């Protein structure tokens, strides 16, 4: 069985259409081609919409990423400030406990033990 090589100028499409055309009537073939064109147009439209959305979201990301980085830096600074404050509070607590051990124990027994915070 020999196969014909289609011409390089798009003869494959013509031979394919003629082959398909011989299998069904012209109306069905036109309907299939119309549906294919509708799907192609829909895909092109969706692709354009996605491209526009990607451009929009990239712009929003670049705008907001600097803001998020600033907030993250601020949170880090706040965390280190709070760590310093709690270290000072613990040092004061130890100083008071050492200087006034009896009164400190009395107060602790009245109010209950203070919970230890995680470091």
- Coil, helix or strand at residue 78: helix
Evaluate whether residue 5 is within a structural domain: no
Evaluate whether residue 30 is within a structural domain: yes
Evaluate whether residue 117 is within a structural domain: no
How would you label 13-51 residue by residue, b for 16+ Cβ within 10 Å and e otherwise? eeeeeeeeeeeeeeeeeeeeeeeeeeeeeeeeeeeeeee
pLDDT of residue 111: 87
Binned at pLDDT 50, 70 and 90, residue 19 comes out as low
How many folded domains does the chain comprise?
Answer: 1
Evaluate whether residue 88 is within a structural domain: yes
Binned at pLDDT 50, 70 and 90, residue 14 comes out as low
Is pTM, for the whole model, over 0.85? no
Structural domain harbouring 49: 11-111
Evaluate whether residue 2 is within a structural domain: no
């Amino acid at each position: 069985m020999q196969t014909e090589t289609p011409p390089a100028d798009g003869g494959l499409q013509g031979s394919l259409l003629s082959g398909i055309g011989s299998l069904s009537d012209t109306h069905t073939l036109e309907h299939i081609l119309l549906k294919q064109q509708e799907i192609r147009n829909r895909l092109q439209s969706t692709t354009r919409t996605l491209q526009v959305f990607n451009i929009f979201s990239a712009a929003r990301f670049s705008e907001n990423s600097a803001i998020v980085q600033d907030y993250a830096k601020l949170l880090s600074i706040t965390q280190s400030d709070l760590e310093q404050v709690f270290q000072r509070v613990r040092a004061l607590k130890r100083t008071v406990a050492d200087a006034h051990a009896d009164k400190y124990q009395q107060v602790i027994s009245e109010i209950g033990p203070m919970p230890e915070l995680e470091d």
